[in-house]
Amino acid sequence: MKPMGAVPADYRWDGGKLLIGGQTAEALIARAGDTPLFVYDMAIVRDRIARFRDAMPAELALHYAIKANPHPDLLAATAPLVDGLDVASAGEMAMALAVMAPERISFAGPGKRDDELEAAIRAGVTLNLESPAEGRRALVIGKRLGVRPQLAIRVNPDFELRGSGMRMGGRASPFGMDAAEVAPLVAEIDAGAGDWRGLHIFAGSQALDAGAIVETQAQTLALARRLAEAVGRPAPLVNLGGGFGIPYFPGEQPVDLAAVGAALKDTLPSSPRTAFAIELGRWLVGEAGVYLTRILDKKVSNGETFLITDGGLHHQLAASGNFGTVVRRNYPLALASGMGDETEVVNVVGCLCTPLDRLGDRVELPRAEVNDVIAIFMAGAYGVTASPSAFLGHVPARERVLD
Ligand SMILES: *Cc1c(COP(=O)(O)O)cnc(C)c1O
């Protein structure tokens, strides 16, 4: 047997049946029409936003990085509760513009096309510049359009977020630019009829250790201060990045938000000329999602039991361990449709013809039968849109947002 991550504490059970937003899996599936089905519970997203507001200094803005989950209903319900949206393509930008004012949207990403730069400049969305050359292209496009581009500068920090699942700083990187390039680029922006909107410093993702986050935020604030001095004026906005993780795996603990907030209350400068923001994706929405998949077959092979489901890595790649993890570990899973006293150790697999399509590796679950429903938690971020949905041509997953 191998351990599983813990089911988030937000979920309740009724007579052995999993409840999502107060409804059973079968009721949700009946309403949606079929499995596989992603359900996103906005009550959990709202809870996370309230916790953030509670713990953090009041003046710290909260941005949602929509690549974590850009479902239109989730976006529409989340946008009024946050202060800004961060997007990573013109496609995401169009979705964000449907629910948020352009001056509250920023567009990062290491390779932006000219037509993407133009769309952002026309809309009045802030571009987080990833290189001086990208800044020059934006200024040329702004001149041609007769529009002042809104340009923030993404800096590749010379430190990393310790313990983060995906490091994005502290070494050579396609993201952002070296600190020494910032002040000369601001001078070019000034001379080239652009508006310098500030700094974007993102040092990593999926960190659970509050101490590491606090340390990185202090380094980020110090770097922002040095850069503003080099530029000769305060940055209108400093985006401190984010990187708050969620506990996917056995033994992991949630981020101690109170500790992060307490440290920021000490270190965040109170400046009328500089606003500060944090951008979060998975921490806001990851635990709000459950992937429901039905068992199609149950069989024994060489003494091991396999539950074969109608889902798989084509919808939920991350749970199979093939999205940015080195060692495969089990996400939290449960038998949604009933909980007997008797358990068995099973392999939960998807319906794809590849051994990579493993959703639960030798996990202990209540005894399940064909037609029962398996729930895979932590499915609210980097699910459908981060999975190879065209691979093997199976039906797409359904998605429902519970408001
Ligand atoms: C992906 C990304 C995020 C969101 O990361 P999470 O781990 O989901 O919080 C935030 N900022 C930038 C620049 C990103 O690329």
Ligand 1 pocket, mutate which of 280, 284, 285, 378 (most atoms under 8 A from CB): 280
**How many Å lie between the centroid of ligand 1 and the Cα of residue 65?**
6
Residue 92 burial by CB count (10 A; 0-12/13-18/19+): exposed, middle or buried? buried
- Please indicate whether residue 281, judged by its CB atom, sits closer than 6 Å to ligand 1: yes
**394 lies in which domain range?**
12-40+287-402
Q: Are residues 124 and 222 in the same domain?
A: yes
Q: Looking at residue 261, what DSSP letter applies? A: H
Q: Are residues 130 and 229 in the same domain?
A: yes
Q: Are residues 272 and 291 in the same domain?
A: no
Q: Are residues 111 and 236 in the same domain?
A: yes
φ and ψ at residue 347, rounded to 5 degrees: -100, 125
Nearest CA to ligand 1 atom 4: 281
Residue 46 lies in a domain: no
- Please indicate whether residue 164, judged by its CB atom, sits closer than 6 Å to ligand 1: no
- Please indicate whether residue 67, judged by its CB atom, sits closer than 6 Å to ligand 1: yes
**How many Å lie between the centroid of ligand 1 and the Cα of residue 10?**
23
pLDDT of 325: 82
**How many Å lie between the centroid of ligand 1 and the Cα of residue 280?**
6
- How does DSSP assign 23-90, residue by residue? EEHHHHHHHH-SSSEEEEEHHHHHHHHHHHHHHS-TTEEEEEEGGG---HHHHHHHGGGSSEEEESSH
Report the DSSP beta bridge partners of residue 330. 4
Residue 397 lies in a domain: yes
Q: Is the pLDDT of residue 170 over 80?
A: no
Contact yes or no for 375/287 (Cβ under 8 A): no
Nearest CA to ligand 1 atom 7: 205
Q: Are residues 323 and 267 in the same domain?
A: no
Q: How far apart are CA 89 and CA 96, in angstroms?
A: 10
pLDDT of 287: 98
pLDDT of 104: 98
Q: Are residues 151 and 296 in the same domain?
A: no
Ligand 1 pocket, mutate which of 164, 202, 213, 255 (most atoms under 8 A from CB): 202
Residue 74 lies in a domain: no
Catalytic residues: 353
Q: How far apart are CA 371 and CA 297, in angstroms?
A: 8
Structure token pair of residue 107: 């567009």
Q: Is the pLDDT of residue 162 over 90?
A: no
Ligand 1 pocket, mutate which of 86, 154, 177, 285 (most atoms under 8 A from CB): 86
In the predicted model, what is the mean pLDDT of residues 9-18?
A: 94
Q: Are residues 262 and 397 in the same domain?
A: no
Q: Are residues 313 and 269 in the same domain?
A: no
Nearest CA to ligand 1 atom 6: 281
- How does DSSP assign 109-155, residue by residue? -S---HHHHHHHHHHTPEEEESSHHHHHHHHHHHHHHT---EEEEEE
Residue 393 lies in a domain: yes
Output the domain CATH number for residue 298.
2.40.37.10
| Residue whose tokens read 């965040």 | 268
Residue 122 lies in a domain: yes
Ligand 1 pocket, mutate which of 130, 164, 175, 205 (most atoms under 8 A from CB): 205
Last residue of a domain, which of 225, 257, 280? 280
Residue 26 lies in a domain: yes
Q: Are residues 249 and 296 in the same domain?
A: no
Determine how β-strand 126-129 pairs with β-strand 150-155.
Answer: parallel
User: Which of ligand 1's atoms lies nearest the C-alpha of 67?
Assistant: 1
CA distances from 147 to 13, 57, 123, 125 (A): 55, 35, 10, 12
Q: Are residues 107 and 211 in the same domain?
A: yes
| Residue whose tokens read 């889902």 | 311
Q: How far apart are CA 104 and CA 162, in angstroms?
A: 29
Residue 144 lies in a domain: yes
Q: Are residues 136 and 270 in the same domain?
A: yes
Per-residue confidence band for 167, with pLDDT thresholds at 50, 70 and 90: low
Contact yes or no for 201/152 (Cβ under 8 A): no
CA distances from 337 to 28, 33, 102, 305, 341 (A): 12, 16, 44, 19, 14
pLDDT per residue as tens digits for the range 248-282: 999 999 999 999 999 999 999 988 999 999 999 99
**How many Å lie between the centroid of ligand 1 and the Cα of residue 294?**
31
pLDDT per residue as tens digits for the range 108-118: 999 999 999 99
User: Which of ligand 1's atoms lies nearest the C-alpha of 245?
Assistant: 7
3-state secondary structure of 288: helix
**How many Å lie between the centroid of ligand 1 and the Cα of residue 203?**
10
**How many Å lie between the centroid of ligand 1 and the Cα of residue 353?**
32
φ and ψ at residue 122, rounded to 5 degrees: -60, -40
Output the domain CATH number for residue 269.
3.20.20.10
Last residue of a domain, which of 280, 297, 332? 280
Mean pLDDT, rounded, of the chain: 96
In the predicted model, what is the mean pLDDT of residues 224-249?
A: 97
Q: Looking at the 3D structure of the chain, how many domains does it have? A: 2
Last residue of a domain, which of 224, 245, 280? 280
**How many Å lie between the centroid of ligand 1 and the Cα of residue 122?**
25
pLDDT of 166: 62
Q: Are residues 251 and 317 in the same domain?
A: no
Per-residue confidence band for 169, with pLDDT thresholds at 50, 70 and 90: low
Residue 116 burial by CB count (10 A; 0-12/13-18/19+): exposed, middle or buried? middle
Q: How far apart are CA 332 and CA 2, in angstroms?
A: 11
Residue 254 lies in a domain: yes
pLDDT per residue as tens digits for the range 315-351: 999 999 998 888 899 999 999 987 678 999 999 999 9
- How does DSSP assign 178-229, residue by residue? -GGGHHHHHHHHHHTT-EEEEEEE--EE-B--HHHHHHHHHHHHHHHHHHHH
- Please indicate whether residue 154, judged by its CB atom, sits closer than 6 Å to ligand 1: no
- Please indicate whether residue 108, judged by its CB atom, sits closer than 6 Å to ligand 1: yes
Q: How far apart are CA 43 and CA 243, in angstroms?
A: 22
In the predicted model, what is the mean pLDDT of residues 223-237?
A: 97
Nearest CA to ligand 1 atom 9: 281
